[in-house]
Every structure is written in structure tokens, then in C-alpha cells.
Copies of this chain bind each other. A is one copy, B any other.
């Protein structure tokens, strides 16, 4: 059993709140050698009744609808921010200033200014740890890809092909918060593109040099104002539309080309209109010595091509990344090929957060605000490339 405890203040009780609460609930039951025990101390939300229901369900000891007070509670060790993107900066900075560790949902922020401020606050707060929930790094197959690249098994990287394809945003979906720039900062780009930019940086170990062209598109320009009421899932808030329409001011899809510093030529595509693909978060990397392919819909497998072996038996190897002793995080879970799912990436991330807070190394690198700022730069560079119709160097984004 862990010696210490980590008291968590979770801000937000919606879809992401549930995923995080589940992670706190389970982490120490499966990762039995962590330096501390996560404690669900306080959940913060606007609606008192919803807060209480959430707390009862998940086992939070306290609730609050005053986040400023909640995060200042001296008992709190870690503030976990799952509020809409436009609130990330204020909350995270306040938490850092209150001396707390912060784990913030992705993307780092809804605007570049916010993101920069968060990065700066994190730089100042030298004693605290920050992290961002780019959880796909912790799918075992993605973590394995990172390890294989790090071992030199791909050699010089020629190409990255990254895509995050969803298809839920048909014309009938009403104007929920995800279609509002004010709340979200952007549409598919910040929601989905942020993940694949982070994954590409994480797995290649390289950084972006430039964005070399970008299309950003809103296919459905107007949508019905949603009725009061709530629905779960990605399209949360959509209990059906009303006759009145409002304008969509975020991107439905953003596609861009990029170069990495090491010379790789890359395509990135994020969209909510890729009919047939509900959550195809994919990454392909082709190197001189080998290649990898990953697709979240088949998240337990990593496809690996080893160009260095006997040509007779070369091919794509589908590695089921569930083998204890060989694959990252696998020891915590079930026997070989007894697969894990979406929620486990959150639990794996929570385990690494607890490790890092306890002074132990994470299984694979945990993105902090400094790291997430780099992803934010790429998001910004892409939009600027679309706006100004030109190549944008990442170094222009300051």
C-alpha cells in the first residue's frame, strides 16, 4: 500500500469528470506500488445537486460550487481541471499560485494567450508539478511505439501521417458548446488535432518546424439552438434542437501539412465529418529502418514493420500490447490479450501523475505545461497558416 495520500480537487462533473473520477477510483487498486494513494477529496461544479449526486456516486468526500475556495483548501494536493477550455488558464494559474499541483485537461488552453500564461505560471511554480491529460500517450500500444522509436528501431523518420476521424457532427446535431469558439477555443482542431499533434511529438521524439499549408472548414454553418436538457457523450447537451438557429464559429475539420525539425514530411487531419469513423485516432510513422501504425479503435494493438530483418518474413506485425513484463502498463491489468479500453488510458495517466508527484519516474514521459505549450504552438501555427495562406514557422508563435 502507498505510504502517503494525494488529495484531489476535481473541477468538473461531466463526461471528463466521470473519466477522471473512475481513474482515481481504480488507480491504486491496479497499480499497487505507487508512492501515494489518490483520495477523492472535493468535486467542484456549478450545480449543487449535480455535484452531490456525482460525489455520492464516486465517493468524493466534499463538494463545492466555489472553485476558488475549493482549490485553496490546504488539504488539497492536486487540482484537476476538466472545465471548458476557456477556463483552464484562470483555474490552473490560481491553483499553481495556491501552491497546488495541477493536472489540466487538453488542450492546454482555448487561446494562445491563455496557454502562454499557463506555461509561465508553471515555470514560476517551481515546487509544483503540472500535467496535461493527453491520455493517448498512455495507451500501451502508443507508449510502446514511443519506446521502439527511442530504441532507434525506426531510424531517420521520413513521414508522419496523423488523423483523428469522428463523424458525430451531422447537420442534425444542435449548437452545443463544442461548436462555440468562446467556450471551446476551436472545434475539431483543438479537440482532436491537439491529441494527434501531441502523439506525433511524443512518439517521434521530434518537434515541429513548420506548418506548410492548412485547410480549416465549417461544413455546417448554422445549427439549431439546443433545448434545455442534457445528453451524455461527445455531443453532451444535445437533447434535441429548437426551431431557432445560431452560427457555428469553430472548425468542423482542420487539415494541415507540416515538417518536423528532423525533416519528416507530415499530414494531419482532424474532423467530425469522417462518416464511418467514430473515433479513429490514427498515427503512422515511416522511418528508414522501420515503421509503426496505430489506430485507437484497435487500441490494444501496435502495428510494427521491421525493415532490418530477413526480407522473407518482413511484414506488418500486429503486436497485442498486453503482455506483462514486456509492454508498458500491462502488468497492472489483465492476462495477455484480455484487452483494456478507453478508460484505462486515464487510469494509466493517473498512475504516472502519482508517480511523478511521489518523485518516481513515469512509465513514459508525462506532458507538463511546458510540453503542452509546444502542442499549442502547432495548433496556432496551423490556424495562422490557413489565415495567411502561407507556411508558418513554429518559431513565429511566441
Chain A residues in the interface with B (C-beta under 8 A): 1, 15, 19, 22, 25-26, 28-29, 32, 53, 56-58, 144, 148, 154, 158-159, 161, 163, 165, 167-168, 170-171, 212-215, 217, 219, 232-234, 253, 255-257, 259, 263, 265-267, 269, 271, 273-280, 286-291, 293, 296-301, 304-307, 310-320, 322-327, 334-344, 385, 389-391
Given known pairs A25-B25, A315-B317, the reply for A214 and B213 (CB within 8 Å) is yes
With CB as the reference atom, state the residue of chain B lying closest to A32: B57
If A158-B271, A213-B215, A314-B317 are given as contacts, then 15 extra A-B residue pairs at C-beta distance below 8 Å, sorted by A number, are A22-B29, A29-B57, A32-B57, A165-B286, A167-B286, A212-B389, A215-B259, A234-B335, A255-B267, A275-B286, A275-B288, A275-B307, A276-B286, A278-B323, A318-B318
Find chain B residues with CB under 8 A from A219 CB: 158, 263
The answer on a CB contact under 8 Å between B269 and A286 is no
The answer on a CB contact under 8 Å between A275 and B256 is no
Find chain B residues with CB under 8 A from A301 CB: 315
The oligomer's copy count stands at 4
Contact pick for A304, options B215, B315, B340, CB 8 Å: B315
Contact pick for A324, options B217, B232, B271, CB 8 Å: B232
The answer on a CB contact under 8 Å between A29 and B58 is yes
Cα–Cα, bound, A53→B233 (Å):
36
Find chain B residues with CB under 8 A from A319 CB: 312-315
The answer on a CB contact under 8 Å between B214 and A257 is yes
With CB as the reference atom, state the residue of chain B lying closest to A324: B233
Given known pairs A267-B267, A389-B391, the reply for A335 and B279 (CB within 8 Å) is yes
The answer on a CB contact under 8 Å between A233 and B336 is yes
Contact pick for A306, options B168, B170, B313, B390, CB 8 Å: B313
List 25 A-B residue pairs with CB atoms under 8 Å apart, sorted by A's residue number: A1-B53, A1-B57, A15-B335, A158-B253, A212-B389, A213-B257, A213-B385, A215-B257, A215-B259, A217-B263, A255-B257, A255-B266, A257-B257, A275-B286, A276-B290, A276-B293, A276-B305, A276-B316, A277-B337, A299-B339, A338-B342, A339-B342, A341-B344, A389-B391, A390-B390
